[in-house]
């Protein structure tokens, strides 16, 4: 008696293939055979009707050990129920995605896989089975385990959230930072720990993660279990599924309390410095300045802040200042650069600039801290010294001339005295001769 079930199975496949041909699609057999991933066709009871070589290579079974077998032979009873539920989803929706299956290979190895399945339809459009694509998840699972290990052992607080901001995973440093227990953090929305405004900023940051794959230095101020507001900086990167789709974010928090104290201290130093001190970005835009700057230049804060330094100095000096900024980036410091800013009154003020690098939390140079020294008094002293030197040189010349006159007169007197002596001697001789 002929095997009617086998004939029926082949009829199902042939019908499905013919349907795809009738719609002008590529030959289904060719697609299945040449697919790099393991692909199989099953009926609605989970019996495998067709499979490509990648399936046999993955599981290590022969063709006759796979075809006409129920998928339940290779997976656990629980996963069989899940696969049956996935088949129902295929019937209802036409597709199911990322169902986890862990088939046992011929060698007994449990192989983690991800199943994506779409409906197999007959010529009338009725669902008669499923085309399943398995993805070997062993390497990905190893990568995830490695990533989990990195997250767990990271010195900084690290968490994983979904795209709605729900916390799915967190390392011990998160609990240590916030002082909450695990069950008070996991499955909670980040909005529980931050203000409504910061929740909106974090949601915007998540959108940026989806679009760009990363965000940097977003400020968050979560409230700890003790009620303390903790300033932190958030860097986040995209968490992707096996298809590369962004499904969440991996966030790293940096406790900014000590850094904020240091910044407050440096702000105090800048504010109270006796010399004019300013902070600029790498394009020369002035971000911050102390009162001594406004006193030196005579401008109001709104006329200085967010302005380019080129507004106050000549084009040539602007080029020199940008060269000094490059030196700051390369060496961390520049010394005694000359700047001559023009004040509000139009006076050109000679100054000398010493600048050091301004760095972000990662040590990257993001700007410069510049100290100006008013050189007017110094240059006046130099001018006075030069004038005194000129006067002294004139007096020396006068003395030299006077010395020439005096010395010449003395030489003439000496010559006259010698002449007188000679005359006296001649007179004496003359007197002696006629005595």
Q: What domains sit in the chain, N to C, each tagged with a CATH number? A: 4-136 (3.30.450.20), 141-255 (3.30.450.20), 259-374 (3.30.450.20)
Q: Which residues pair with 39 in a beta bridge?
A: 133
Alpha-carbon gap, residue 66 to 51, rounded angstroms: 8
Alpha-carbon gap, residue 129 to 423, rounded angstroms: 154
Q: pLDDT digit string (tens) for 391-405?
A: 778 877 877 777 777
Handedness of CA 40, 42, 46, 49 (dihedral sign): negative
Token code pair at residue 180: 């909450």
Q: How high is the pLDDT of residue 28?
A: 60
Distance, C-alpha 416 to centroid of its chain: 97
Alpha-carbon gap, residue 152 to 119, rounded angstroms: 40
Tens of pLDDT, residue by residue, the chain (435 residues): 344 444 344 444 444 444 443 443 345 667 778 888 899 999 989 999 999 999 999 999 999 999 999 999 999 999 998 888 888 888 888 888 888 899 999 999 999 998 988 998 888 889 998 999 998 888 878 877 877 887 888 889 999 988 888 998 899 999 999 999 999 999 999 999 999 999 988 888 888 888 888 888 888 999 999 999 999 989 999 888 767 888 888 999 999 888 778 778 778 888 888 899 998 888 889 988 999 999 999 999 999 999 999 999 999 998 888 888 888 888 888 888 889 999 999 999 999 999 888 887 678 888 888 999 998 888 888 788 888 777 778 877 877 777 777 777 777 788 788 878 887 787 777 777 776
Alpha-carbon gap, residue 25 to 22, rounded angstroms: 8
CA of 179: how far to CAs of 108, 176, 207, 281, in Å? 45, 5, 28, 37
Task: Report whether 279 contacts 368 (CB < 8 A).
Answer: yes
The residue with tokens 């398995």 is 134
Token code pair at residue 392: 């002294």
Token code pair at residue 222: 């979560």
- Give the H or E element holding residue 248: strand 246-255
User: What letters, b where the CB count within 10 A reaches 16 and e where it falls short, cover 23-41?
Assistant: eeeeebbeebeeeeebbbb
Alpha-carbon gap, residue 370 to 353, rounded angstroms: 6
């Amino acid at each position: 008696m002929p095997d009617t079930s086998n004939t029926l199975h082949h009829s199902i496949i042939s019908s499905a293939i013919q349907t795809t041909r009738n719609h002008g699609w590529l030959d289904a057999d060719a697609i299945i055979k040449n697919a790099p991933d393991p692909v199989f066709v099953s009926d609605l009871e989970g019996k495998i009707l067709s499979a490509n070589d990648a399936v046999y290579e993955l599981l290590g079974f022969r063709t006759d050990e796979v075809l006409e077998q129920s998928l339940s032979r290779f997976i656990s009873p629980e996963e069989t129920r899940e696969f049956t539920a996935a088949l129902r989803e295929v019937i209802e929706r036409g597709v199911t995605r990322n169902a986890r299956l862990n088939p046992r290979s011929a060698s007994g190895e449990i192989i983690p896989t991800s199943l994506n399945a779409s409906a197999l339809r007959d010529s009338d459009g009725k669902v008669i089975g499923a085309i399943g694509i398995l993805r070997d998840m062993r390497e990905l699972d190893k990568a995830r385990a490695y990533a989990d290990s990195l997250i767990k052992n990271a010195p900084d607080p690290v968490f994983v959230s979904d795209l709605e901001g729900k916390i799915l995973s967190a390392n011990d440093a998160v609990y240590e930072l916030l002082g909450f227990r695990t069950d008070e953090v996991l499955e909670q929305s980040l909005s529980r720990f931050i203000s409504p405004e910061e929740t909106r900023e974090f949601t915007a940051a998540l959108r940026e993660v989806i679009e760009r794959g990363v965000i940097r230095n977003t400020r968050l101020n979560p409230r700890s279990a003790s009620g303390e507001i903790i300033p932190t900086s958030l860097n986040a990167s995209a968490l992707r599924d096996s298809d590369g789709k962004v499904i969440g974010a991996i966030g790293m928090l940096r406790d900014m309390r000590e850094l904020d104290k240091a910044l407050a201290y440096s702000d105090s130093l800048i504010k109270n410095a006796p010399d004019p001190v300013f902070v600029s970005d790498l394009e020369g835009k002035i971000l911050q300045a102390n009162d001594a700057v406004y006193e030196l230049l005579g401008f109001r804060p709104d006329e200085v802040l967010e302005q380019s330094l080129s507004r106050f100095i000549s084009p040539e000096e602007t080029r020199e200042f940008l060269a000094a900024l490059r030196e700051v980036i390369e060496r961390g410091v520049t010394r005694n650069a000359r700047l001559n800013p023009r004040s509000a009154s139009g006076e050109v003020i000679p100054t000398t600039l010493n600048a050091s690098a301004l760095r972000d939390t990662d040590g990257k140079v993001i700007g410069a801290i510049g100290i100006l020294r008013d050189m007017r008094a110094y240059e006046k002293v130099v001018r006075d010294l030069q004038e005194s030197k000129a006067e002294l040189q004139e007096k020396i010349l006068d003395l030299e001339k006077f010395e020439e006159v005096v010395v010449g007169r003395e030489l003439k007197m000496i010559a006259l005295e010698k002449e007188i002596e000679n005359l006296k001697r001649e007179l004496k001789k003359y007197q002696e001769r006629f005595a």
